[in-house]
Structure 1
Amino acid sequence: MISFIWKFRFSLIFLLFILFCLSLSVLKNPKIYYDTERILEMSSEEKDVIDESIDDKNLLLASIRFKKDINYEAALIADSVHKTLQSKQSIRSVSSLFNEKKIIGSNFIPILSKRLKLSSEESFKKSFDRIKNQGSNFVSKDLKSLLFVINKNENADTNLTFFFDGIKSDLSKINDSEVYITGQSKSEHYMQDSVTKEIKFMTLFSSIFCAIVLWFFVRNIMFVIINLVCVIFSISITFSISQILYGGIELVMILMPAIIFIVCISDFLHLTNFNKDDLKKTDKFQLFQNQVKKIGVPVFLTSITTAIGFLSFIFSDVMPLTRFGIITCIGIFISLFSILIFYSLVVDKKIYGINEKANKTINNFIEKVTNIKRIESIFLLSIFIFFSIFGILNLRIDNYITDEINKNSKLYEEIKFFDDNFGGIKPITFNVSRDSSLSKEKIEELENFLKKNEVVIDFSSASILSPSNVSSTIKSRIKDIGSRNTNLLIEKISQYCEDLDLNISYSGVGFLFDNLSNKMTKEVLIGLVLAIILVGLLFVIINNYKIKFFIIALIPNIIPIISTIGIFSVFSFYFCLSNAFVFAIVFGLIVDDSIHIISSYRSCIKRNLSIDKSVSYVTQITSRAVIKTTIVIIFTLIPLLFSEFKSVSQLASISIVAAIVAVIFDLIFLPKMLRFFS
């Protein structure tokens, strides 16, 4: 394999270039799968429940926020806006204050009358005062915002960008007002557009930061360019495989560029971590072969262990997880293959360099850290243990609709507006089955109970309940209170219905989102635990079934992760679908460093070096590469802190903290563990 890569290195580089060009053509118009879209596809609920949930996708909430109190002139313009929206072929129906009706009298045949009167300014004031006293779902409590509930025509063939721009343009006709629009289809459209932009811009800025730090360490611009080309080729080819195999890219795969960045940069720096004696070799192939045999084995091992963390997702029955696991594993090995090919070019053309000043600074840092006093190391270990225990005690799983969006996002601002002013955007449908106990009075009791628990009712079939009805349906919305609180609310409602002798079931995107997102989060965490155990077992196998290597492999990888969880738990951290994947990536990053140190130690022992000399080599040579990769990765992740997507920004923040904790542990405690178990 080594000889093959060396012999055909230029042909293989050309092959990678061809694959890269083909991948760009495949990714010309990428399809991004949004989470709720996949939830509906994967749900095991009955067909009628799914159909009702799909209908939620066509629901839009739009609002006009007035800077001053609503007057008669503004109401007339808003009414014309309502009529304009209603006349659009792309819109099935519009509900607002301007067509809200109430039942007058208690006759056998109910008489419906509009709540808001616009025939004259006087009638407007009287009717609006009544609405002010009685309340309405279509007016905010401060009487400065109007709500329009829009049902998009599912069959309408319309460009979504033009559709949403058209609605915003219609709603913006009133001066001194702001417009807010939200809904599942709006969020999906926004996210799909943003994902593509983010992948491009974040990759660009991460590349720039990475290039600056790499150049500082190697002082060779060609080496920096080759590193970045390797990363970009690997990312593009990997995404194109997802597009070819699955017809699109899962939203969770937005994390993949960061994974490939970490794998490529780390492995390249370890492979070019030459000794002065290595560089004296005149035979280029021998240098390539020796480095691949010496460093390539732990590099391959880190690729396997990193892949294991994602391979565990394959056994999930949740499609996005399975696809994410498969594509990420493929991406890791594409990166490894690309690294070896480009590394052969680096050795052949001597495209490497050493910044002796930087190496000296790092060596001095390593010496200071590894020679700290015993009391200081005990204090540090106590801090790690404290945060580990704190993290374990505060473990919790929760999922919010806005988990994927940062608070500085326009999308988050819109969702929060409807949460604050109109009871939220999370759709839940209550279906009460017809039996002998079902009555209009009981449904009304249930509705009053729902309203007391801050459930906004958009539609109820109670008013048209007849013996022919199979069930009574209540379509409602709640605030984005998280899956834990939503489940508590559902339990509370179920208990109330049981007391009323009503048979109730639930549907809607909000309900399905809570159930499946919690399930997916648990599966990711279970996969992470399995990956950690598998890595430990792998070390036992490759070290002649010595159980001590299970402990040596696990402790340096578990402590930094749990300590990081503890540190973030201080700031009310919780596990969700958005960040559970992050820890699988962090695990791969941490394992990478510890495996290089342990493998380097084993290699020294096999060369019959003493334990002290082996540990000394590890701390002086291998640890230097570990620190370099950590610094490069930290700087590479800095642009991701400003991502609009919370999973990406949390990937950056969690990885940076975990990387620092892991380096400290690997420098101070891992050498002590190697001595102790030897």
Structure 2
Amino acid sequence: MLQDRLNHYFVHHPMLIILACLGIVIALGAGLPPQVTTDFEEFFPDSDDNLVAYHDLQTTYTNVDNVFFAIAPKSGIVFSQDTLTIIAEMTEQAWQLPYSQRVDSITNFQHTIAEDDDLLVDDLIPDPANASAAELADAKAIALAEPQLVNRLLSPTAHVAGINVIANFHQAEDKSTAIPQVVQSAREFMADFQAKYPQVDIYLVGKAMNNNAFKEATLYDMKTLVPIAFLFAMACILVFMFVASGSIITSLMGTLTTLAVIITSVVAAMGAMSWLGIHISPPVANAPTMILTLAIADSMHLLATYFQNMQKGMQKQQAMEQSLSLNYQPVMLTSLTTVIGFLSLNFSESPPFRDLGNVVAIGVFAAWLFSIALLPAMVMLLPFNIKASKVKQGQSSDRLANFVIKRRVPVFIVSSILIVVSTSFLFDNRLNDVWAEYFDERTQVRIHSDFVRENLTTNNTISFSLRSGEEGGISDPEFLKLAEGFARWLESQREVIHVATYTDIMKRLNKTMHGDDPAWYKLPDNRELAAQYLLLYEFSLPFGLDTNNLLDTAKSSTRITAIVGDSSTDNILGLQRRSQEWLKQNAPSTMFHPGTSSDIMFAHMGYSNIRSMLEGSALALLIISLILGFALRSVKFGLISLIPNLIPAAVGFGVWGLLVGQIGLGLSAVAGMTLGIVVDYTVHFLSKYLRAMREQNLSEPDAIRYAFRTVGTALFVTTLILTANFGVLALSDFRLSADMGLLTAGTIIVALLVDFFFLPPLLMFVSRKPRQAVSAQHQKAPLESL
């Protein structure tokens, strides 16, 4: 057979095989290192409707990329000479930050004053260091009555103030390098002022900070979690090899060969990723951990069988050839099903999750290739010393098998009840991401974000661009009236804490031009007058503080932005739906805008990703079941395999629904990921069960014992390594990765329990007729292992 000839070639030409494998790795690894992304837009395809709307808003008005400094005086009083002087100084120097386009604060807020027929516009607090108590009191009263400031640049109790710096990354050649530059400068800026003025606490948030936090979370995972997972895996392998071989030298050599398979697989996958132009995002950063974990199983199965063959007295070459011959099909089958499971992530709406699936699929294929080629070649060249007297297998597996067989009815009933009860909580999960909580509470970005959210404002917004349909149309009284009505409606919504709208400026100008009479704090009812007010106002504004944050250059549309206090998916999508309905019912179709922001984009992505991943997982499950049915040569057992393949994810999400109840973007990919892993368990158990029945003519109970003996220990060790390594991801600073790792680890544990306590009784119940058991001596003969 061709496979036998290949096995013979791999074993008898080790140096040539090693050089060939190294050549492949070097060629793929030449593309390293890949680029680390710093932009949240990587989570969305270019054709995404919400991303298109977001870009349109960014190009029409002043962009929303910003850094935001919150100043919290320890005295709790913002309107003091000391605090306002600090704010004014920071406002002035913030213009020097890289890519700074606009700086807004309470000190440079453009306050309007009328003198006779002239409109004067000046800083609200032009000289805070020399301001009198009366002037400070007046400024405070004006600021607290100004809708543009409260809950945006000033807290309602005037105990915290903000400085908003808009960064124009359109000027940058490479946004991925510009964002870290701005963040680094902003942090140094904050540190300098914090050291200079210890009487205030300064907090730093903003879109640029959130974007950069993606990169920092990614690098943390790769520098910290990957090494932890790697070291734990190596320790488990070392122990397993020693137990299997009984030799320290052999355990070290076995660990070394497994390490070679792991390293070459990871380098090949990450190198291929670089050649394909895939960037490292937080989800993709987990690929090395997943690959090294999945690469271990192939090596352990091959080496375990090799050890047993050596104990039977075979020579090294013969022992390895037989190990390859016995394990080739199941290892290839499990690798294929794992690849299919991860490729199902291509149904994801989010590119980073598609990238994760593709990179891990490449890594799994590379692990299969190197385990059947590189590993045997290295084994032939390294010293292996097998001590047969140390090997004792099957005792613990027999005890577990006997327990399950003897009590199969109660075990099946109890396990079924637990499965049904756990799965019943599946629909208690609700999709609910909170953008502000994507990062761990111990990170600086989260600490600062929580303080600013609780005391001043948020970066969670939804913006609408209302078009008048004609140049200068924003001065049309009817258009202004509709825009004002929409803004006031937004303010009345429970999620909204602030609305930035041009109509507030127009009402203030109308009041100012009528002697500051409060009765005139309303929109002008004459188009020419409104246009004249705007012209006078714009002529009076200093450089950098124009109206492009609210108006387009043609004065044909205006942006209305609602700041949302609670940006959970349910809340912000509910607000968007209600807003769209209001516009449809109260405004002409030309004014309709769906509303957009990064929060809206992530919310929609979460919903669409869940739907698309369910479709992908269903297709992958169908393909895998067909493959298993063909490989196992049984339609019945192919259909039976569906049950243990479906249960782990259902139970995992059910328990998650009971304990947590919220599913975010990161968890939407877990079903597809775990499907490729849990199928391995079913393949190993069913293949050994059928081998015992077909080739050794064992009865169903004895076939169950055979399956437990041959794969029980391997599945347990594999589960230990998989669970620990995916569990390590729970330590990630990035919640998407942490939740994904935690739920995946739990699902893998469920998969092992299902294959140990639910599948064996099920197999015995669906068997048509018992077979004659063979002798006890035959049952206890040395058994090959996957």
SS in 2 for 1:206: helix
CA deviations on 1:281-301 (whole Å, 9 max, x unpaired) are: 423333223222322211111
The question of whether the paired residues in 2 share the 8 Å contact of 1:419 and 1:480 is answered with: no
TM-superposed CA distance for 1:344, in Å, is 0.5
Change (3 A) 1:225 1:143: farther
The question of whether the paired residues in 1 share the 8 Å contact of 2:435 and 2:568 is answered with: yes
Paired with 2:289 and 2:406, the residues of 1 have a C-alpha distance of 34
Mapped pair 1:558 → 2:646 = yes
Mapped pair 1:461 → 2:489 = no
Paired with 2:122 and 2:99, the residues of 1 have a C-alpha distance of 28
Counterpart residue number, 1:260: 291
Change (3 A) 1:87 1:406: closer
Q: Which amino acid is 1:461 matched to?
A: Y
Counterpart residue number, 2:140: 128
Mapped pair 1:510 → 2:599 = yes
Identity of aligned residues (%): 17
Q: Which amino acid is 1:76 matched to?
A: T
Mapped pair 1:165 → 2:187 = yes
Q: Which amino acid is 1:451 matched to?
A: E
TM-superposed CA distance for 1:587, in Å, is 1.9
Which residue, out of 324, 327, 338, partners 2:370? 338
Change (3 A) 1:9 1:200: farther
Mapped pair 1:379 → 2:414 = yes
| The 10-residue stretch of structure 1 (620-629 or 284-293) with the greater mean CA deviation from structure 2 | 284-293
Q: Which amino acid is 2:266 matched to?
A: I
Change (3 A) 1:639 1:543: closer
Counterpart residue number, 2:718: 629
Which residue, out of 568, 575, 581, partners 2:663? 575
SS in 2 for 1:139: coil
CA deviations on 1:215-251 (whole Å, 9 max, x unpaired) are: 2222212322332332232122211211111153344
Q: How does 1:29-44 map to 2 (within 5 A)?
A: 30-32=35-37, 34-39=39-44, 41-44=46-49
Q: Which amino acid is 2:209 matched to?
A: K
TM-superposed CA distance for 1:276, in Å, is 4.3
Paired with 1:46 and 1:35, the residues of 2 have a C-alpha distance of 11
Change (3 A) 1:107 1:633: farther
TM-score normalised by L of structure 1: 0.90
Q: Which amino acid is 1:444 matched to?
A: E
Counterpart residue number, 2:509: none
CA deviations on 1:376-405 (whole Å, 9 max, x unpaired) are: 4412320111111221x2243333324642
Which residue, out of 213, 217, 222, partners 1:199? 222
The question of whether the paired residues in 1 share the 8 Å contact of 2:97 and 2:185 is answered with: no
Q: How does 1:494-533 map to 2 (within 5 A)?
A: 494-502=580-588, 503-505=591-593, 506-533=595-622
SS in 2 for 1:308: helix
Counterpart residue number, 2:319: 287
Which residue, out of 82, 88, 94, partners 2:91? 82
CA deviations on 1:8-59 (whole Å, 9 max, x unpaired) are: 4333334444555566663346333644245273424696752424764622
SS in 2 for 1:669: helix
Counterpart residue number, 2:358: 326
Counterpart residue number, 1:647: 736
The question of whether the paired residues in 2 share the 8 Å contact of 1:56 and 1:509 is answered with: no
TM-superposed CA distance for 1:87, in Å, is 4.1
The question of whether the paired residues in 2 share the 8 Å contact of 1:556 and 1:662 is answered with: yes
CA deviations on 1:154-191 (whole Å, 9 max, x unpaired) are: 22576345433343235424213333222333222232
Paired with 2:17 and 2:183, the residues of 1 have a C-alpha distance of 42
Paired with 2:455 and 2:500, the residues of 1 have a C-alpha distance of 18
CA deviations on 1:111-137 (whole Å, 9 max, x unpaired) are: 545444624141123422553566722
SS in 1 for 2:228: helix
Which residue, out of 540, 552, 558, partners 1:472? 558
CA deviations on 1:425-474 (whole Å, 9 max, x unpaired) are: 12322112216884323322222222232435574333467597322221
TM-superposed CA distance for 1:364, in Å, is 4.2
Mapped pair 1:308 → 2:340 = yes
CA deviations on 1:298-341 (whole Å, 9 max, x unpaired) are: 11111111111222334566544443333322221011112223
TM-superposed CA distance for 1:564, in Å, is 1.1
TM-superposed CA distance for 1:488, in Å, is 0.8
Counterpart residue number, 2:253: 222
Mapped pair 1:675 → 2:764 = yes
Paired with 1:161 and 1:472, the residues of 2 have a C-alpha distance of 30
Change (3 A) 1:15 1:516: same
Paired with 1:93 and 1:294, the residues of 2 have a C-alpha distance of 69
TM-superposed CA distance for 1:528, in Å, is 1.6
SS in 1 for 2:46: helix
Mapped pair 1:62 → 2:69 = yes
Mapped pair 1:272 → 2:306 = no
Which residue, out of 379, 388, 398, partners 2:423? 388
TM-score normalised by L of structure 2: 0.78
Counterpart residue number, 1:9: 14
Mapped pair 1:140 → 2:155 = yes
TM-superposed CA distance for 1:617, in Å, is 0.6
Paired with 2:30 and 2:157, the residues of 1 have a C-alpha distance of 52
TM-superposed CA distance for 1:509, in Å, is 2.9
The question of whether the paired residues in 1 share the 8 Å contact of 2:345 and 2:672 is answered with: no
Mapped pair 1:239 → 2:279 = no
Paired with 2:398 and 2:696, the residues of 1 have a C-alpha distance of 25
Change (3 A) 1:347 1:364: farther
TM-superposed CA distance for 1:204, in Å, is 1.2
Q: Which amino acid is 1:415 matched to?
A: S
TM-superposed CA distance for 1:268, in Å, is 2.1
Q: Gaps spanning 5+ residues in structure 2: where?
A: 1-5, 243-250, 470-475, 507-529, 533-553, 768-786
| The 10-residue stretch of structure 1 (296-305 or 97-106) with the greater mean CA deviation from structure 2 | 97-106
SS in 1 for 2:430: coil
Change (3 A) 1:511 1:635: closer
Q: Which amino acid is 2:691 matched to?
A: S
| The 10-residue stretch of structure 1 (531-540 or 409-418) with the greater mean CA deviation from structure 2 | 409-418
Paired with 1:472 and 1:598, the residues of 2 have a C-alpha distance of 65
Q: Which amino acid is 1:455 matched to?
A: V
